[in-house]
Amino acid sequence: MAFNWSTFWTRAFTALIFVAIMMFGLLHSSWSLFVLLSVIYFGCWREYAQLTEKITAASLHRYGWLGAALIGYHFFLLLSGDLQLAGYGVQENFSLPFLIAGLVLFIWGLFKTPVVSKPLLFRLLAGWLYIAVPLGLLDSLLIPTYDVHVHDTMFVIGGQSVVLFIFGSIWINDTMAYLCGSLYGKTPLTKISPKKTWEGTLSGIILSAALTWLLYTVIFLKSVEGKLAVVGVIISFITAVAGTFGDLFESKLKRMAGVKDSGRIMPGHGGFLDRFDSILFAAPAIWLFVRIFYG
């Protein structure tokens, strides 16, 4: 794959804006992350609905899609962190209204759809697992702290650090895979995504873990927290590998739908699914890793 400087600078400029927005959402507060992930959820769902209708050559009334989106958002809220609004837990008190409204709209949409496609309904159900569940699990990682034991020393990692690691590893992996693949990639990875190469993919995964190690050892070189570098490298590695599968899965959906991009929210970067396909696979993988090893 030849390196295209015009595409690179377009992607780089829009990526700076994207990263600035993302960093504000990630760092400002738990609520800013919640709002950010909510926007991502509805953006991804809208594009997934469009892809599904093209893949199945069937349609569902807009009320049906809106109802399905609200039902999925109900699952997102159930899995999200322990946020409080006016003294009421969002998870416990606000998820049910979205479920009820979603069911009403969804059933209404089914009645207004002339012919209801079973394959479309199956993919709709799969969309809740594909989009709502991962984003809810990602949001839940922000709230707790995790006790990590390294060489008989106990450290406390904030959930915010875990979420930052996931996004940071994805960005590093994507950037390194694109650059290395463009410069010396020759061996196609899969027919699903012809532009991806083994050289670029492996370089992205390895460099993502290596840069994580370098970042930790430089920042914490003279402090005991430097021992946590191994945890960061593991998270980075899992994120990069799972994220690659997420990218390939979305590429498969686009090929089946016959489109190049899932949407057009950012020049050079495509739509919501194009930007967050890796996160949708990486978040559950890291959630399992954190829950199993650190409670």
pTM (2 decimals)? 0.87
Range of the domain at 17: 5-28+144-294
Higher confidence at residue 225 or residue 198? 198
How many independent structural domains does the chain possess?
1
Closest CA to 129 of 76, 167, 81: 76
d(CA 51, CA 70) in angstroms, rounded, equals: 18
pLDDT at residue 77 is higher than 90: yes
In a domain, 236, yes or no: yes
In a domain, 41, yes or no: no
In a domain, 39, yes or no: no
In a domain, 151, yes or no: yes
d(CA 220, CA 47) in angstroms, rounded, equals: 42
d(CA 59, CA 256) in angstroms, rounded, equals: 16
Higher confidence at residue 145 or residue 10? 10
In a domain, 154, yes or no: yes
d(CA 195, CA 49) in angstroms, rounded, equals: 25
Mean pLDDT for the stretch of residues 253-278: 85
In a domain, 69, yes or no: no
State residue 290's pLDDT score.
85
Cβ(270)–Cβ(262) under 8 Å? Answer: yes
143: DSSP letter: S
Residue 3 pLDDT grade (very low, low, confident, very high; cuts 50, 70, 90): low
Residue type, 205: I
State residue 222's pLDDT score.
45
In a domain, 10, yes or no: yes
pLDDT at residue 61 is higher than 90: yes
Closest CA to 47 of 248, 268, 276, 267: 276
In a domain, 135, yes or no: no
